[in-house]
Every structure is written in C-alpha cells, then in structure tokens.
Amino acid sequence: MSPSASPAVNPSLAYLTSTGDVRIAHVRTAGSGPGVVFLGGFMSDMTGTKATALEAWARDGNRAFVRFDYRGHGASEGSFEDGTIGTWLGDALAVLDGATEGPQVLVGSSMGGWIALLAARARPARVAGLLGIAPAPDFTRRMWQEDFGDAEREAIQRDGRVTVPSEYSEDGYVITRNLLEEAEQHMLLDAPIPIRCPVRLLHGMRDEAVPWETSLRIAERLETDDVEATLVASGDHRLSEPTDLERMLRTLEDLTNAASVQDG
C-alpha cells in the first residue's frame, strides 16, 4: 500500500533475529522515552517519507526512535511472498522486545496500522500510545470480498497466488493464498479490540486504498476511552504532503507527552 524503495546505505543499520532465524534490519536513534517505533506499510520500507520525517523529529527532540523493515522488505532477509500478517507481526514484536526499552508509542502506516494494533494487544505493558496513519486492519478480507473479481479469485485457488496492479509498483503486487488465509487469524474489526492506551488515527478522505470509514470502525471497537480520529478532507492514502507530515508530528508530540505523564 506504499511504494517500496531500496534502502540507502546507513552506518547505523543493525540486525536482530526474528522467528525462523530471519534477520530484521533496523535503525535506532538514541534518546529519552517514551520511545517511538515506526511500522511501515505493505511492500514499504523504512526509508520512506514518514519514517525519515519521524527520525528527524526524534533527533531534534532527543527522543528514542526505531524504524525497521519487515522480512521480505527493504534491507531485511526473507522472501516477501513468504510473508504473512503473523510473520510480520512477529518481526514487529522482535523489534519491540529486542531494540527498545521501556514504554513505546507505535506509529503504524497503512498495513503497519494493523500490525501496530496487534502488537499493542500483544504487549499492553510496553505500548504507551498508538498513532495510526490510514490504518488498514483486515484489508486482506476486504481485498478478497470487494477488490478481487472472478479472475483473481480463480487464480488464487488455482495457482495459490495472483499479481495485482498497483500505482506504487510497476510490477504490481503478488498476493498469495497463504497471506489471505493466515490473515483470518488476525482480524480485528468484528469484535472489541482490547487496547486501552491512548490512540490517535489520521485518515485522508480521498484515500482510494483504505476507506476512511475504517478509522471510525477502529475507534468504535477500541476499548480505550482516549481515542481520537482525524479525517483530512484533502488527504490521500499516503498522507505524505508537508501539511500531512506536520499534522502527524503535532499529533505524535501530544501523544508522547501524554504517555510521559502517564509513565511518570
């Protein structure tokens, strides 16, 4: 749901081991807490506009920050086509457990918003806040039910995979049957979501990849009373224009300050 790019050479690039002995690339910025972890989107990597804007914000404010690549993405090991929501969640938890200390605020973009919600549910004592940017929980089910036609469904059943066109990739995306089937274990929008930390959601109303109503459904399902959803009338799926980035950073500043007070 976001463009994939080759990561730039970075002397601070490090690796940790996730499930299946897959090495996960990440970059840490030293600073005070609560820290911030960025979780990118489907076929995205940690060199994107939002990730680097967050890193600059963290450095300016002496805030601990981590960005990373899921397996099969960017500089991490593994095959993209072997990835699932569960394995990418495992990578996020490996980073949270192995590359951060103390309370963290998770910033999840698109699919990363789904992964962030799952991680917050799995590590409630570690996650002090969550910011979702065009969050896309359950997008695989919507893809199967609403986006795919008969030809795509037949290809999945026959070949176990299908390549779908994308404005973010000339080659399109490969969607596997394993991805679609495994994702059913991680659906969130059909039941209450047991997350009680502060949550902020930003969503563009011109988002053609993830309906903006998704953020309202998330807000309704969350068990926390401290949730706010902001709809951006002119915003697209990426929310990467300068005004969008400024809004993201303002929201995150308020969220981390609130988390600091709670932690204190």
Q: Give the separation between CA 87 and CA 174, rounded to whole angstroms.
A: 17
Indicate which residue of 26, 73, 186, 237 is catalytic. 237
- Tell me whether residue 237 is one of the annotated catalytic residues: yes
Indicate which residue of 203, 207, 215, 244 is catalytic. 207
Q: Give the separation between CA 106 and CA 168, rounded to whole angstroms.
A: 24
**What stretch of H or E contains 32?**
strand 32-39
- Tell me whether residue 110 is one of the annotated catalytic residues: yes
Length of the chain in terms of residues written: 264
Indicate which residue of 110, 138, 215, 244 is catalytic. 110
Yes or no: say if 31 and 56 are a contact pair by the CB < 8 Å rule. no
Positive or negative: CA dihedral 173, 183, 72, 81: negative
Contacts of 89 (CB under 8 A, 6+ apart): 115, 118, 119, 122, 186
As annotated, the active-site residues are 110, 207, 237
